[in-house]
Structure 1
């Protein structure tokens, strides 16, 4: 991608590291009524197969100083069909998008200015009607968006807080619920749609700041002590807060399939030379098993399994080409699905079919 977009990615990632875990009551309900926005009606989803929704940014012209447009793309592994479903202006700090194929809607983020401040807010667009609704007004930066049923789950920094929290918007009432507290930074999430559970990687901002200011060892070396990352389980009401396991690793990505949660962990931030450690948590047995990820590194970007558990869809760099790849679990091989030479894939989400 062009330098400007890469810089925006670095800025939002750094802001995530600078802002994050224990509370008795993990949920707070806030009524969100931005402007005169109407409510979003939820309908029962028809049958769909697996697909990947992607947010892809590129210059609208060949002029490097021109406007950047962001597209929401959909890729279907069964048919190998790629299509553009929506395009919007790149105004957010780091734009996100999600194509809800069942309801023919897209969720996306854009910067909204007010007289006193600004922030990236979540919008929903009805593709059939061609109309957009602003769903939030109190957010500053958004890192995840995943709709499920009549709710939209997100991870964001709320204005006035340092924390990055998990949240949910009731699409029937526009009510917003937040999970966590002001000391929490949520790093990654994954949803178990079948059992309506959310798995969260998070750590304490206070502990990170202490580690940063109390580094031991010679000056000029990386003596930073990784804070304790914890993986939690919560329900769709965001009322539960069950601790599954903790590690002194950067737990940068979560995936789930067939009763297991997989946490991809690194010893240091943004160091991809060493293989990631994969912590396999068995939900029923409540046990963990650690192995090394012995193949191409999966980049941080919402990778996940297919419905049958035989494939992983992820952003990776294979043969010096960055893009969406399919990883075959049995053969340990990668297949390139979309590796653009210009533009940049901001993020993906794997949407499992309702077979």
Structure 2
């Protein structure tokens, strides 16, 4: 009898592990557009990668500084930004699709640039009242508390991505003082090109930041966690307005050395929103012209091995602002 119980326990462990491993990966897509009454709306969609099925999960009048929201499948909740009624700035809200009710989660922010829900936490990059630099925060859904992730006061955070393969979070940042100096250098002469300061990549472990890479006066334009545990990222010396060259590398997480990687920007005009969905496929927001020179801005799936490109989602009536890969 004891042996039977042990076998059952082992089977349960395997079943639970299998369930965790087989979580459905999906895209949370944010668009903006006008409704029939002429109101500017923010829309949140879920795109199932395995089923190739799109479903709108949320639509609300646009009141924040720019459209931003993310659908969490595990919570069946949309986390979005909206300007608070007193006009003090954008705050984080949660709309529960089961109860059809919204709840304000933060009070001290003035702007939010990114939202990533992971398990019982909602991570974000934002600015607190009276502050200038963007910083990382998270809202704990269990304790219902807003938390600031400890970081150097001068750091200004630009980007954050979730690693669906190993459940890590990566962030990029530079020092505000160095960014200001670079802007002064660019403004010193008419038409001078802006050259970015050093940018740093951090890994978030147990809500603590660990620096893993530093550029030499380059921006980190995008980050793509890979299935093998390495991190793919793109560098450029200036902002997109200056039409810089983009160089993509893979950072070996064991040796902390980088090597040239796939030329993502050679595929088409690709934005910073790009993710590996498997070891050999990348999904990204980009623009591609057809034979009639008409540009199609949409979300594409690129197969690294075959070089094939598949259009997953585009819309003529709405503008695709951004998307994130989650599970």
TM class by shorter chain equals 0.7 to 0.9
Aligned-residue offset at 1:275: 4.5
More helix by share: 2
Report the Cα distance in structure 1 between the residues aligned to 2:204 and 2:162, rounded to whole angstroms: 10
Matches within 5 A, 1:207-286: 207-215=178-186, 219-235=189-205, 237-257=206-226, 258-271=228-241, 273=243, 275-286=245-256
Aligned-residue offset at 1:333: 2.9
Matches within 5 A, 1:53-68: 53-61=28-36, 66-68=38-40
* Equivalent residue number for residue 3 of structure 1: none
Say if 1:263 and 1:315 are closer, same or farther in 2 by CA, change over 3 A: same
Aligned-residue offset at 1:277: 0.8
Is contact 2:28-2:326 (8 Å) kept?
A: yes
* Equivalent residue number for residue 74 of structure 1: 46
**What's the secondary structure of 2:270's corresponding residue?**
coil
Deviates more, 1:320-329 or 1:246-255: 246-255
Is contact 2:202-2:209 (8 Å) kept?
A: no
Give 5+ residue unaligned stretches, structure 2: 1-18, 290-294
* Equivalent residue number for residue 96 of structure 1: 68
Report the Cα distance in structure 2 between the residues aligned to 1:164 and 1:350, rounded to whole angstroms: 22
Residues 1:312 and 2:287 aligned together: no
Residues 1:351 and 2:326 aligned together: yes
Aligned-residue offset at 1:54: 0.5
Is contact 2:74-2:119 (8 Å) kept?
A: no
Matches within 5 A, 1:143-162: 143-162=113-132
Is contact 1:142-1:155 (8 Å) kept?
A: yes
Is contact 1:45-1:102 (8 Å) kept?
A: no
**What's the secondary structure of 1:173's corresponding residue?**
coil
Aligned-residue offset at 1:47: 5.9
Report the Cα distance in structure 2 between the residues aligned to 1:332 and 1:161, rounded to whole angstroms: 45
1:219-254 residue CA offsets vs partner (Å, 9 max, x unmatched):
32324332111111221x322333323332111211
TM-score between the two structures when normalised by the length of structure 1 = 0.78
User: Size of the alignment, in residue pairs?
Assistant: 300
**What's the secondary structure of 2:125's corresponding residue?**
strand
Report the Cα distance in structure 2 between the residues aligned to 1:85 and 1:215, rounded to whole angstroms: 43
Is contact 1:46-1:102 (8 Å) kept?
A: no
**What's the secondary structure of 1:206's corresponding residue?**
helix
Residues 1:288 and 2:263 aligned together: no
Report the Cα distance in structure 1 between the residues aligned to 2:318 and 2:166, rounded to whole angstroms: 37
TM-score between the two structures when normalised by the length of structure 2 = 0.85
1:126-178 residue CA offsets vs partner (Å, 9 max, x unmatched):
11111111111111111111111111111111111111011111111122222
Is contact 2:237-2:245 (8 Å) kept?
A: no
Matches within 5 A, 1:296-335: 296-301=268-273, 303-306=274-277, 308-319=278-289, 320-335=295-310
Give 5+ residue unaligned stretches, structure 1: 1-43
Is contact 2:157-2:171 (8 Å) kept?
A: yes
Higher RCO (C-alpha under 8 Å, 6+ residues apart): 1
2:26 to 47, 51, 75: 51
Aligned-residue offset at 1:323: 1.3
Report the Cα distance in structure 2 between the residues aligned to 1:342 and 1:195, rounded to whole angstroms: 36
Is contact 2:42-2:61 (8 Å) kept?
A: yes
1:89-123 residue CA offsets vs partner (Å, 9 max, x unmatched):
11011121111112211111111132xx5211111
* Equivalent residue number for residue 128 of structure 1: 98
* Equivalent residue number for residue 15 of structure 1: none
